[in-house]
Structure 1
């Protein structure tokens, strides 16, 4: 009968080598505490290893799928790692956030969209950030950058259309 308490202790002491793939069980929740995973992700980001921060933040998100902060953290780690999957996570975080999280969520979404070449989407996100915090200087600055990028994209598109029209006329 003395061995009966060893199994739960062994389960607590054993740390899995990878996060759960599906919905977490009670054992997963014990082994993969969302706060522990978040702390590990933050540690990796602070160490300058955003790629290594993604798995712990993903594990925390699986444990707390309805938490906008978990989505924000997972999206921000992906943004820092130059992962194109950052924008959807950050958009979900921004739409589900309020208070102190709203401005950074919209701002990071703008950054993700801008780095993905979506200047229009970035402009929209930066404007949302400024609605939540009108004095947010990084959003103001990046909004100006995104507006210039959109103008540049439009000029390039016009030039391509003109070049194509010239080419079409020469072929006729």
Structure 2
């Protein structure tokens, strides 16, 4: 059995979008080429699209379009370079040092469970974002005592989670 911890879960690279768009573009160009080949062989009727496009391009002088096209190509190249070098965003939170990972909403479930275990808490729910949890608790009794217990119980439950999510609590008294 290997003692190597699991890899850190990360989001898809930013360059994946560029790859998908490039693949769709090449596929569209190929489909147009196949269509024009079928038109040229007489298999289907119609006029070739590429012939029309090249006819329109003859009207333009190289000076008219080369400098703007070159600038656009440089900008696209820089964007693709930045996208390929951009680090991938972490999607999960580490639990301890053993390579165990949980999602933010799982940390929210732990916070909700911790809140529900406190006396006089009638109900609790948590909204989880990447690095923050918002716990809403409905209580009966002393609001300040419950707020203090929530401030102690939730961090105790999440003490192994890294990075520790920021926890905000809102306590409302039943009937309000």
State TM-score, norm by structure 1.
Answer: 0.21
Q: Give 1 or 2 for the bigger CA radius of gyration.
A: 2
Higher share of residues assigned strand: 2
Greater relative contact order, per chain length (Cα 8 Å cut-off, separation 6+): 2
